[in-house]
Chain A
Amino acid sequence: QKEVEQDPGPLSVPEGAIVSLNCTYSNSAFQYFMWYRQYSRKGPELLMYTYSSGNKEDGRFTAQVDKSSKYISLFIRDSQPSDSATYLCAMSNSGANSKLTFGKGITLSVRP
């Protein structure tokens, strides 16, 4: 079993839809959870990060962590065409970048 599994996608939704992106993981020591967004021909950029279980909200984005189920989610409300990108989850057990484990990413397309 891979340490981090992410739905391969791609995912296509109409503008205004609520999007749910998910990752599961097997390493119960993971405590820090991140979502990166990667536009075409660009490097990933940090979108959100959370520590341990719970929710974190930032505008239209909500990150959710369920450590008991080893499951993390990113919700995008009122999705916009500008949200079209690849989304990667990443996680760490030590809070150290040297130990970040990334999911493979899912490509989201928001249709106008």
Chain B
Amino acid sequence: EAQVTQNPRYLITVTGKKLTVTCSQNMNHEYMSWYRQDPGLGLRQIYYSMNVEVTDKGDVPEGYKVSRKEKRNFPLILESPSPNQTSLYFCASSVTWESLGYTFGSGTRLTVV
């Protein structure tokens, strides 16, 4: 089944403890992206990647890092999480950066206490 898989689905952590949210797609998509979704603010893009080893900032990149060493994987790294990063995170992919329409993962609900 073609899909974007995120792990974990739920995560509670403490301020300052480094964490990684994994994202993997099995569709050979070139383009991948991370979003966070917050009530009243909607979906906001954190980082995106047009292909392997090519990443760029979205609208809210502060406090996050990403890497794209392989086409299928696009992990989101929080080096020192803070409570304002408590959110619902989505990974998404599409065939190319020019293609319209993402395939989204099921989300990771992160709580930082």
Q: Looking at the complex, which of B11-19, B62-70, B72-80, B94-102 is the stretch in contact with chain A? A: B94-102
Main secondary structure of the interface of B (DSSP, over half): strand
> How many residues of chain A are within 8 Å of chain B by beta carbon?
20
CA distance A32 to B99 in the complex (A): 11
Instruction: Return chain A residues, CB-CB under 8 Å to B103.
Output: 45-46
Q: Which residues of B contact A100 (CB under 8 A)?
A: 45, 102
Least CB distance, A102 to chain B, in whole angstroms: 4
Which residue on A lies nearest to B94, using beta carbons? A97
Number of A-B contacts (CB under 8 A): 59
Q: Indicate if B81 sits at the interface (CB-CB under 8 A).
A: no
Residue from A34, A41, A100 having most chain B Cβ neighbours under 10 A: A100
Let me know if A34 and B107 touch, CB within 8 A. no
**What CA separation (Å) do A15 and B90 show in the bound complex?**
31
Q: Which residues of B contact A98 (CB under 8 A)?
A: 31, 33, 48, 50, 56, 97
Chain A residues with CB under 8 Å of chain B are 32, 34, 41-46, 49, 88, 92, 95-98, 100, 102-105
